[in-house]
Structure 1
Amino acid sequence: MKSKFTLEINKPCSEKFSGFKKTELGGFCGSCQKEVIDFTGWSSQEIINYFNNNSNQKTCGRFNDYQLGSYVEPTKPNRLNYFKGIGVACLSLFSFGISNAQKENTPTEIVAQKLKNQKNTKPQNTFVVKGVVSDEAGPLPGVSIHLQGTTIGTETNFDGEYEFPRQLKKGDVLIFSFVGMDSKKIIVENKETAATILMNVTLESYLCVIAGEVSIKKPFKSKKSFWKKKFKNEK
């Protein structure tokens, strides 16, 4: 059965979270003498798991505004459909292999094509790009960095540091993105023609962050639904 509930904060807290004493899950508010759990970096599934396991206790939390609202436990995938999908994928790969074998070029054509590509390729100076990504509070872990127009990318580590996985050239564009932050596009330059260049980036938040005691609302169940379910189980 799906688990469904709605999270709300009816009375937002006016205390500054940055002034709280740090705890394992967030910070301790000296005003109300409670731990405020910082949910801003949690995924939807992590939030669902937490409130399913702690539904009987009061929770003070800090959320991005988009995290407040309704949550529904995702349904488990159908195993039969899963195995059907594998069968279709295997059949597709088999057909693809046959098709490629029929269209394969002759050795002479392959050599000629390689020579043509080498002739048209001009050598370009490439270099390593690395640095630190921060926000107003300091180094920011988990920032996504990818090369525009490709799927090549990386993420910042716990200290906000990154090193792009492949060497770049002048004019390449890196996109820095993080949930709740304005993305940044930066054109790569290498004015000093160094083998490694440092590119430190600061991201700015655009989300409203709300903290306070969490109100959990679950769907109303009528007595009629209760007796209907009970009668069905007794049968």
Structure 2
Amino acid sequence: MKTQLTLPKSQHLNLFSITSFILLLFFSFNPIIAQTNSTPITIKTTEKERTVKGIVSDETERLLGVNILLEGTTTGTTTNEKGEFTFPKKLKTGDILLFSYLGYETQKVVIKDDTSFIKLKLTLDDVTMIGTLDARKPYKSKRKN
């Protein structure tokens, strides 16, 4: 004959509580064990930004009104009456400045780690003037003196 064992409700609750407590203890140690492994830390270095100043001239004198533009943007400045400039935005290594002036070749300057002052000499560009002149008859003004 088989006999069936039945536990009172209070013992069921007690058995359930003990089992739950043991499972809770078992799973609570897992995060602690997982956190003991060391993970490599990567540190990103930010590039140093700097203010760039300089002087632009040609073979004989400093140039007024040379356009200086940061490549790929609309940020720029011009030289003053002494040919000096201070770029309005802080620049980082690898930025490229474009120097342009009417009648002169456009030059690119790449900002390096130690660039804070630029002394640039622009060279003349070939200027071609195209036009025709009709010299068959002299010009006579229609104005009366």
TM range (shorter): 0.5 to 0.7
Q: Give percent identity, aligned residues only.
A: 38
Code of the residue aligned with 2:83 in structure 1: it is: G
Separation in 1 of the partners of 2:127 and 2:73? 31
Deviation track 1:147-187 (CA, whole Å, cap 9, x = no partner) reads 00000000000000000001000000000000000000010
Match of 1:163?
86
Whole-Å separation in 2 of the counterparts to 1:209 and 1:137:
22
- State which of 122, 140, 143 in structure 2 corresponds to 1:203: 122
Sort the Cα spacing of 1:123 and 1:190 in 2 relative to 1 into closer, same or farther, 3 A. closer
Partner SS, residue 108 of structure 2? strand
Mapped to 2, the partners of 1:218 and 1:153 lie a distance apart of 46
| Matched positions, count | 91
Q: 1:151 aligns with which of 74, 80, 94?
A: 74
The 1-side partners of 2:52 and 2:93 are apart by 11
> How is 1:105-124 mapped onto 2 (pairs within 5 angstroms)?
123-124=46-47
Q: Any unmatched runs of 5+ in structure 1?
A: 1-120, 211-216, 222-235
- TM-score of the superposed pair, with normalisation by structure 1: 0.35
- Detail structure 1 runs of 4+ shifted over 6 Å in the superposition: 217-221
TM-score (norm 2): 0.55
CA distance in 1, matches of 2:46, 2:141: 68
Where does structure 2 lack aligned partners over 5 or more consecutive residues? 1-43, 130-137
- Distance in 1 (CA, whole Å) between partners of 2:103 and 2:64 is 13
Partner SS state of residue 182, structure 1: coil
User: Between Structure 1 and Structure 2, whose CA radius of gyration is higher?
Assistant: 2
Q: As a proportion of its length, which structure holds more strand?
A: 1
Aligned to 1:188: 111
Tell me which protein shows more helix as a share of its residues. Answer: 1
Partner of 2:98: 175
Question: Helix, strand or coil for the counterpart of 2:51?
Answer: strand
Residue identity opposite 1:197 in structure 2: S
Q: CA deviation at 1:189?
A: 0.8
Q: Shift in Å at residue 124 of structure 1?
A: 2.7
Query: Any idea what the Cα deviations from partners look like across 1:34-55, whole Å, max 9, x if unmatched?
Result: xxxxxxxxxxxxxxxxxxxxxx
